[in-house]
């Protein structure tokens, strides 16, 4: 609603701060400082500083960033931004026309493959750094133009992924190490001092202002162990990555280690010894849910961290009884049709399940060091990624766009949200994160798609935080929106492909290596 105090507000106080125009390949990016939530912005462009400014279409006016895809190099444009709506509370908007920012300009640059990888990483990093919650620094659940997620709701999985994106920002020079340290310190202090925890574990949604649990469902109002495991992966990574001397990085190591050690993994095994399986949820009002954490899915890191915990460890048996043995579909050796002949697979079923299962647990956990049969998990991920690609090509007559695009995973789609996968849940929706986050497994195929999306369809598919969440050419639909858990793995997995530094840092942790050794030297260890 329109606030009755609008006329009393001093419009000058709403000026845009620190607007920057960044020259990028075939486009210009604009970034400015966020001052709070529930704000809306207008962006204008002109061909000269004194020229006529026109308003640009902005699908996400609530975001403090804008990407102007021009499609040509060497084009110089001038920009200005103003607030058009704001409010201290989401139910109390203020309609206004703020002062225009100072005018800034930039010139588009030529496209170049290696540099474009960096720009894709930068776009995802920006979601986690520039668009983070202004109080806690935590990453938001998502952003979409019509009914966005409540900006008070922070995603626990995205919070775990956050630490890897900050490292990408440091490694690629988007921010200084000092800036990264300050931001991470803010987040860790909030998690330690304000975030509500249950037996040391985190909830699915965390209030970005108070730290309180926001229920994800009627019975999911307490601990979420998969979300907690992704956060814990990020905590261990932060402890290992920020390894310099000095009070600031020592503080990061201390707080991250304490949060990790506080998680009582053994309390989430419902019937130790008789039913060695970790439960997904525990509620202070409802107790355990009936959802078991069994593989193969995105949750392997939960069992490895449970076994590796120095304070509240689970038994090695939980890995083989609960994670592997708890799901008869874990190992299913088979061959699926490929463009160049049969593709042998051993995990899950068919051409494989949604591609995100190869990402969340493996931002830090290096699949090249996780045994699988006589090889390693990385090799299966190579085959699963190839199978996903080939499935789309083989079904190009069924869905428009499958002749050049691929990547079936969980994302928004024309009917809402779906965990897309070959054969079983396939309606023609392509999710860029599926392919892009798999770059380490099939780099040439991924980079080919990445370039094609940008060069041929960048005007429609690219936004302020990189490629939009999903698109469905068969239904002429594009989700001009972002979800943190889809944006988040892209930049870190590109870094793992380019340098392996994130894998290297995480795998320095003694607890992880000890857990892997214990699990695969167990008498219960089985092969496909």
What CATH class does 6-111 carry? Answer: mainly beta
Intervals of CATH 2.60.40.10 along the chain: 6-111
Share of the chain above pLDDT 90, in %: 83
Judged by DSSP in three states, 170 sits in helix
Q: In which region does residue 220 sit, left (phi positive, over 0), alpha (psi from -120 to 50) or beta (all else)?
A: beta
Intervals of CATH 1.50.10.140 along the chain: 114-520
The pLDDT, as a whole number, for residue 95 is 63
Burial class of residue 414 (count of CB atoms within 10 Å of its CB; 0-12, 13-18, 19+): middle
Identify the band that residue 11 occupies on the pLDDT scale cut at 50, 70 and 90. very low
Residue 235 parent element (H or E): helix 225-241
d(CA 184, CA 174): 15
Contact in structure between 205 and 216 (CB atoms under 8 Å):
yes
Task: Point out the least confidently predicted range of 200-214, 360-374, 483-497.
Answer: 200-214
Task: Point out the least confidently predicted range of 88-102, 175-189, 271-285, 406-420.
Answer: 88-102
Higher pLDDT: 17 or 165? It is 165
DSSP for 2-38, written as a single string: --TTGGGS-GGGG---S-EEEEEBTEEEEE-----SS
How confident is the model over 347-353, as a mean pLDDT? Answer: 96
The pLDDT, as a whole number, for residue 16 is 86
How far CA 137 is from CA of 34, 79, 140, 250, 479, in Å, comes to 12, 28, 9, 20, 26
Of 452, 339, 354, nearest in space to 411 by CA: 354
Average pLDDT, the chain: 93
Dihedral over alpha carbons 315, 321, 324, 328 (to 10 degrees): -170
pTM over 0.75: yes
The pLDDT, as a whole number, for residue 214 is 83
Count Cβ atoms below 10 Å from residue 20 Cβ, excluding itself: 13
DSSP class of residue 401 equals T
Query: Is the pLDDT assigned to residue 34 strictly greater than 90?
Result: no
Burial 82-106 (b: 16+ CB within 10 A, else e): bbbbbbeeeeebbebebebbebbeb
The pLDDT, as a whole number, for residue 153 is 82
* pLDDT tens readout for residues 501-524: 999 999 999 999 999 999 999 999
Contact in structure between 45 and 53 (CB atoms under 8 Å):
yes
Q: Which CATH number fits domain 114-520: 1.10.10.10, 1.50.10.140, 3.40.50.2020, 3.90.1170.50?
A: 1.50.10.140
d(CA 122, CA 290): 40
The pLDDT, as a whole number, for residue 10 is 33
How confident is the model over 38-59, as a mean pLDDT? Answer: 94
| Residue 478: φ, ψ to 5° | -135, 130
d(CA 391, CA 338): 7
Dihedral over alpha carbons 40, 44, 49, 51 (to 10 degrees): -140
Contact in structure between 364 and 505 (CB atoms under 8 Å):
yes
* pLDDT tens readout for residues 362-409: 999 999 999 999 999 999 999 999 999 999 999 999 999 999 999 999
């Amino acid at each position: 609603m329109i606030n009755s105090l609008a006329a009393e507000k001093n419009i000058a106080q709403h000026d845009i701060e620190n607007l920057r125009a960044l020259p990028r390949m075939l486009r210009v990016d604009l970034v400015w400082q966020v001052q709070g939530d529930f704000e809306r912005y207008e962006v204008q462009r002109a061909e000269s500083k004194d020229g006529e400014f026109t308003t640009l279409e902005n699908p996400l006016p609530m975001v403090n960033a804008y990407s102007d895809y021009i499609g040509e190099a060497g084009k110089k444009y001038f920009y200005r931004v103003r607030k058009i709506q704001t409010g201290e509370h989401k139910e109390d908007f203020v309609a206004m026309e703020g002062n225009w920012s100072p005018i800034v300009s930039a010139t588009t640059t030529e496209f170049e493959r290696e540099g474009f990888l960096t720009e894709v990483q930068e776009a995802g990093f920006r979601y986690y750094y520039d668009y983070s919650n202004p109080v806690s620094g935590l990453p938001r659940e998502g952003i979409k133009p019509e009914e966005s997620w409540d900006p008070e709701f922070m995603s626990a999985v995205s919070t775990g992924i956050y630490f890897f994106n900050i490292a990408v920002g440091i490694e690629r020079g988007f921010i200084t190490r000092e800036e990264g340290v300050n931001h991470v310190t803010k987040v860790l202090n909030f998690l330690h001092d304000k975030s509500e925890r249950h037996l040391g574990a985190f909830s699915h949604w965390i209030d970005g202002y108070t730290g309180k649990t926001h229920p994800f469902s009627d019975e999911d109002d307490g601990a979420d162990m998969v979300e907690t495991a992704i956060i814990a992966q990020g905590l261990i990574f932060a402890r290992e990555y920020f390894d310099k001397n000095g009070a600031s990085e020592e503080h990061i190591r201390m707080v991250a280690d304490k949060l990790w050690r506080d998680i009582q993994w053994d309390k989430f095994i419902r019937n130790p010894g008789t039913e060695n399986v970790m439960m997904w949820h525990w509620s202070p009002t409802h107790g355990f849910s009936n959802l078991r954490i069994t593989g193969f899915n995105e949750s392997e890191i939960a069992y490895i961290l449970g076994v590796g915990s120095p304070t509240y460890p689970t038994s090695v048996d939980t890995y083989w009884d609960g994670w592997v043995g708890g799901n008869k579909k874990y190992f299913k050796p088979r061959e699926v049709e490929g463009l160049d002949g049969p593709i042998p697979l051993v995990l899950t079923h068919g051409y494989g399940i949604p591609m995100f299962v190869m990402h969340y647990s493996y931002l830090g956990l290096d699949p090249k060091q996780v045994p699988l049969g006589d090889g390693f998990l990385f090799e299966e991920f190579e085959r699963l990624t190839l199978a996903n690609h080939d499935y789309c090509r083989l079904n190009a007559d069924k869905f428009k766009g499958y002749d050049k695009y691929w990547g079936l995973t969980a994302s928004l789609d024309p009917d809402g949200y779906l965990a897309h996968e070959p054969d079983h849940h396939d309606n023609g929706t392509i999710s860029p994160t599926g392919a892009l986050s798999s770059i380490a497994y099939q780099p040439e195929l991924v980079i080919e798609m990445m370039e094609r999306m940008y060069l041929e369809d960048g005007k429609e598919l690219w936004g302020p935080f990189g490629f939009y969440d999903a698109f469905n050419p068969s239904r002429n639909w594009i989700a001009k929106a972002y979800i943190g858990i889809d944006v988040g793995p892209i930049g870190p997995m590109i870094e793992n492909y380019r340098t392996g530094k994130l894998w290297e840092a995480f795998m320095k942790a003694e607890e992880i290596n000890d857990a892997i050794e214990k699990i695969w030297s167990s008498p219960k260890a089985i092969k496909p």
